[in-house]
């Protein structure tokens, strides 16, 4: 507990998480003594998870990087900040003069959700424009799908789920990844809401559900179409909503009528009576809401799957009403954030992009101009990206590599120069998530950075000055943040002090699409999307089967998020080997028992694991949590670089393996 005698300062969790917690730090003599959740936050209410509680350990951990490190023939050498700036400046100027700015590749992701760390993109824009990633490793297929359907991805305020009579928890595991949703679901269940979990794995979130429906992986779209068939032929659709707010119902209805309950049952492995009852639970007990997770779109058919599920909300009229919605993302505040990043886009003279999933393949290509330098910020691609063996090999061949991080990650180990980052408690920032939490959180600077670390914002500001990038805004961070949220302030008549002292959300949009003003080309919900058709996709929500394994690799590998780490960040201190979860029947087929050492093999690589026999995992499946570092064995040595049908999303779950008991035990 925080002492009443010491200073208490508010900060916010920067992890790319659903919840977006605000915390309080206890400070004495310039040192943080303890942290706890901020009890007056309207969403998180003082409850924090193990990942949030680890901030204190991470900031003061003895392995944390505290000064710039340069790789030499004899190992890592500590250098001054000035020397680091001088080296990077010289390299970038040389590359620009010899090859042009596109010879620099900037790889970034969402390892930190603060606005100030957008300075990296701003810098490379003012540099002239570099090679950048597009697409997504995490959720891009679903975002693209909802753009076709709704115009953008919006979710209901979490408290509105309490107004639902039925909740379909579809592929979501809040027990592991969304602590504060669990609280709302508990309240909903206590007041009589029926909660149904649909997941190939009976996760611990099943404890909150009235029923768990185990589905064959990658067939969720078929389930949604089977449900839609029963809803339509049984008259459980909202004709008024369809007539006034939906485009393309006739074409959709024609297709769906071919997708009978029996056909859906054959595809999904769920019996027809269960699908019928599920459709009636959703269609009759309204309002009904769907809460989607981020696993069911990690297949080659991922975008189509989300479109099929979205359609259920549209045909039943569960869109724009309290207690309804198809909740995937919640890009509520992001549209009001501007700042120097978007303004700096006008300074881009050159642009080149590549699919984020294919980093290794792209680095191996003969590009013109060739990639001469890679800068990595807010990410750990040599752990989190697919097909790691190829990616590592290609990354190591690049002439000059700079990595920004708190720790010596597997990506940082292969850099030529490492720039240490500030911890969130060492800087001021504004943070937001676009997944679940609808709040913008202010994070005050709690203590001075350890060892004089200057932080990414000041590093790029100093680098721009050294390189004479005269357009780059030479402003203090607070001024940058004020400019970033100026559109928000103007739209809602706020001041920056209001944002610092209050928990801001867009209260008039707590129910997504309540005004029925969809941001599609037609202004309506689009079952038939001409935009998708123009982009070479099927205009309707249709089912296409996921990829299947070969005889040599018959087991599908699923790699969900662990409970106690945000991707790889909290595996930094883990020395154990990964655990593979396997159904008892599958384990028997392969001669495996509890706690055996085994080897999982795919076309891409091999991984030593410890066996956990668990009948909560479906048959013919392997489950290994993602995030493990190389010292333990990263699961992405097994995964293949594949993308989904929409959004250039990594199709991690179309990975097929075999497993064998490790010899010599």
Per-residue pLDDT, averaged over 580-608, amounts to: 97
Q: Is residue 545 assigned to a domain?
A: no
What proportion of the chain, given as a percentage, has pLDDT over 70?
Answer: 96
Per-residue confidence band for 219, with pLDDT thresholds at 50, 70 and 90 = very high
Q: What is the pLDDT of residue 333?
A: 81
Whether residue 315 contacts residue 231, with contact meaning beta carbons closer than 8 Å, is answered with yes
Question: What is the domain count for the chain?
Answer: 4
Q: Is residue 322 assigned to a domain?
A: yes
564 with 593, same domain: the answer is yes
Whether residue 649 contacts residue 303, with contact meaning beta carbons closer than 8 Å, is answered with yes
Per-residue pLDDT, averaged over 287-309, amounts to: 96
108 with 200, same domain: the answer is no
Give every CB contact of residue 225 below 8 A, 6+ residues apart in sequence: 256, 259, 264, 308, 541, 542, 543
Of residues 45 and 478, the one with the higher pLDDT is 478
**What are 493-535's pLDDT values in tens digits?**
999 999 888 888 777 678 999 999 999 999 999 999 999 999 9
Q: What is the pLDDT of residue 621?
A: 96
Q: Is residue 337 assigned to a domain?
A: no
- Cα separations in angstroms, 31 against 9, 25, 343, 447: 12, 10, 38, 7
DSSP 229-254: HHHHHTT-S-HHHHHHHEE-HHHHHH
Q: What is the pLDDT of residue 2?
A: 46
380 with 310, same domain: the answer is no
Residue where a domain stops, chosen among 17, 41, 60: 60
Whether 169 has a pLDDT exceeding 60, the answer reads yes
Return the CA Rg of the chain.
25
Whether residue 236 contacts residue 284, with contact meaning beta carbons closer than 8 Å, is answered with yes
Q: What is the pLDDT of residue 509?
A: 78
Residue where a domain stops, chosen among 15, 42, 60: 60
Q: What is the pLDDT of residue 561?
A: 84
What proportion of the chain, given as a percentage, has pLDDT over 90?
Answer: 78
391 with 499, same domain: the answer is yes
Of residues 176 and 427, the one with the higher pLDDT is 427
646 with 627, same domain: the answer is yes
309 with 205, same domain: the answer is yes
pTM: 0.94
Distance CA 317, CA 284 (A): 11
249 with 181, same domain: the answer is yes
Q: What is the pLDDT of residue 1?
A: 42
Please calculate the CA angle 428-433-439 and round it to the nearest 5 degrees. Answer: 75
276 with 172, same domain: the answer is yes
DSSP 114: B
Q: Is residue 529 assigned to a domain?
A: no
Q: Is residue 2 assigned to a domain?
A: no
Q: Report phi then psi at 547, rounded to 5.
A: -65, 155
Whether 620 has a pLDDT exceeding 50, the answer reads yes
Per-residue pLDDT, averaged over 433-444, amounts to: 83
Instruction: Indicate if the alpha-carbon torsion angle 561, 563, 569, 574 is positive or negative.
Output: negative
The beta-strand segments (E) located in 61-165 are: 69-72, 75-78, 104-108, 131-134
266 with 406, same domain: the answer is no
378 with 242, same domain: the answer is no
Q: What is the SS3 assignment for 442? A: strand
Which residue has 């936050």 as its token pair? 41
Q: Is residue 404 assigned to a domain?
A: yes
Distance CA 34, CA 20 (A): 19
CATH of the domain at 43: 2.20.25.90
Question: Which H helix or E strand runs over 310?
Answer: helix 302-316
Neighbours of 512 (CB within 10 A): 24
Distance CA 159, CA 133 (A): 36
Q: Is residue 597 assigned to a domain?
A: yes
**What are 537-579's pLDDT values in tens digits?**
999 999 999 999 999 999 999 999 877 666 667 666 677 899 9
The beta-strand segments (E) located in 13-60 are: 22-28, 31-37
Q: Report strand pairing: 7-12 vs 22-28.
A: antiparallel
Enumerate the H helices of 105-258 as residue ranges: 119-127, 140-149, 174-177, 179-190, 220-233, 239-245, 249-256
CATH of the domain at 385: 3.40.50.740
Crossing angle between the packed helical segments 302-316 and 140-149, to the nearest 10 degrees: 40
30 with 47, same domain: the answer is yes
Per-residue pLDDT, averaged over 98-117, amounts to: 92
Of residues 375 and 440, the one with the higher pLDDT is 375
Q: Is residue 155 assigned to a domain?
A: no
Per-residue pLDDT, averaged over 203-229, amounts to: 96
* Residue 279: domain span: 160-327
Distance CA 69, CA 529 (A): 51
Give every CB contact of residue 506 below 8 A, 6+ residues apart in sequence: 332, 333, 438, 492
Instruction: Indicate if the alpha-carbon torsion angle 390, 392, 395, 399 is positive or negative.
Output: negative
Per-residue confidence band for 5, with pLDDT thresholds at 50, 70 and 90 = low
Q: Report phi then psi at 404, rounded to 5.
A: -105, 125
Q: What is the pLDDT of residue 342?
A: 62
Q: Report strand pairing: 555-558 vs 166-170.
A: unpaired
CA-closest candidate to residue 404, choices 386, 427, 426, 381: 381
Per-residue pLDDT, averaged over 256-267, amounts to: 97
The mean pLDDT value of the chain amounts to 92
Per-residue pLDDT, averaged over 421-448, amounts to: 89
582 with 629, same domain: the answer is yes
Of residues 114 and 147, the one with the higher pLDDT is 147
Whether 339 has a pLDDT exceeding 70, the answer reads no
**What are 186-200's pLDDT values in tens digits?**
999 999 999 999 999
Residue where a domain stops, chosen among 270, 296, 327: 327
CATH of the domain at 246: 3.40.228.10
Whether residue 115 contacts residue 342, with contact meaning beta carbons closer than 8 Å, is answered with no
Q: What is the pLDDT of residue 104?
A: 98
Whether residue 512 contacts residue 325, with contact meaning beta carbons closer than 8 Å, is answered with yes
């Amino acid at each position: 507990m925080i002492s009443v005698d010491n200073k208490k300062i508010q900060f916010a969790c920067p992890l790319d998480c659903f919840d977006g917690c605000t915390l309080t730090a206890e400070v004495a003599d310039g040192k943080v003594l303890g942290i706890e959740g901020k009890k007056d936050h309207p969403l998180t209410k003082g409850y924090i998870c193990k990942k949030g509680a680890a901030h204190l350990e991470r900031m003061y951990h003895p392995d944390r990087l505290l000064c710039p490190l340069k790789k030499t023939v004899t190992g890592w050498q500590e250098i001054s900040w000035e020397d680091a700036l001088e080296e990077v400046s010289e390299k970038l100027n040389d590359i620009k003069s010899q090859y042009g700015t596109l010879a620099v590749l900037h790889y970034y992701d969402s390892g930190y959700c603060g606005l100030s760390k957008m300075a990296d993109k701003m810098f490379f824009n003012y540099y002239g424009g570099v090679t950048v990633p597009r697409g997504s490793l995490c959720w891009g297929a679903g975002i693209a799908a909802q753009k076709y359907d709704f115009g953008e991805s919006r979710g209901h305020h979490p408290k509105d789920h309490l107004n639902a009579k039925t909740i379909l928890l579809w592929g979501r595991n809040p027990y592991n990844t969304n602590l504060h949703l669990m609280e709302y679901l508990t309240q909903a269940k206590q007041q009589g809401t029926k909660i149904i979990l649909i997941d190939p794995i009976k996760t611990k979130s099943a404890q909150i559900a009235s029923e768990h429906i185990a589905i064959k992986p990658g067939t969720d779209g078929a389930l949604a179409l089977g449900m839609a068939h029963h809803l339509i032929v049984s008259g459980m659709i909202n004709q008024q909503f369809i007539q006034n707010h939906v485009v393309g119902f006739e074409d959709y209805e024609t297709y769906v009528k071919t997708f009978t309950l029996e056909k859906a049952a054959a595809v999904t492995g769920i019996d027809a009576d269960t699908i019928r009852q599920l459709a009636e639970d959703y269609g009759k007990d309204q309002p009904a809401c769907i809460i989607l997770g981020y696993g069911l779109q990690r297949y080659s058919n991922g975008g189509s799957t989300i479109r099929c599920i979205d359609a259920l909300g549209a045909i039943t009229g569960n869109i724009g009403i309290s207690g309804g919605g198809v909740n995937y993302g919640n890009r509520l505040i992001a549209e009001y954030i501007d700042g120097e990043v978007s303004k700096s886009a006008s300074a881009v003279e050159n642009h080149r992009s590549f699919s984020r999933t294919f980093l290794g393949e792209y680095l191996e290509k003969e590009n013109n101009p060739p990639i001469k330098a890679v800068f990595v910020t807010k990410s750990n691609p040599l752990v989190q990206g697919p097909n790691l063996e190829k990616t590592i090999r290609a990354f190591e061949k690049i002439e000059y590599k700079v990595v920004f991080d708190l720790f010596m990650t597997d990506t940082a180990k292969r850099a030529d120069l490492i720039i240490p980052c500030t911890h969130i408690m060492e800087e001021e920032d504004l943070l937001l998530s676009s997944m679940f939490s609808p709040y913008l959180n202010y994070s005050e600077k709690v203590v001075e950075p350890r060892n004089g670390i200057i932080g990414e914002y000041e590093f790029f500001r100093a680098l721009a000055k050294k390189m004479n990038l005269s357009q780059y805004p030479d402003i203090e961070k607070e001024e940058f943040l004020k400019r970033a949220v100026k559109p928000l302030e103007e739209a809602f008549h706020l001041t920056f002090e209001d944002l610092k002292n209050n928990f801001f959300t867009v209260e008039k949009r707590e129910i997504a699409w309540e005004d029925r003003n969809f941001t599609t080309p037609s202004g309506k919900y689009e079952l038939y999307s001409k935009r998708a058709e123009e982009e070479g996709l099927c205009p309707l929500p249709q089912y296409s089967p996921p990829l299947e394994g070969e005889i040599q690799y018959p087991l599908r590998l699923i790699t969900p998020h662990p409970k106690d780490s945000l991707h790889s960040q909290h595996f930094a201190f883990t020395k154990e080997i990964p655990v593979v979860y396997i159904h008892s029947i599958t384990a028997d087929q392969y001669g495996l028992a509890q706690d055996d050492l085994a080897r999982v093999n795919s076309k891409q690589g091999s991984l030593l694991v410890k066996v956990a026999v668990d009948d909560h995992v479906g048959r013919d499946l392997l489950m290994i949590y993602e995030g493990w570092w190389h010292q333990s064995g990263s699961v992405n040595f097994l995964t293949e670089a594949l993308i989904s049908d929409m959004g250039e999303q990594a199709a991690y779950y179309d990975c097929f393996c075999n497993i064998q008991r490790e010899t010599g035990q």
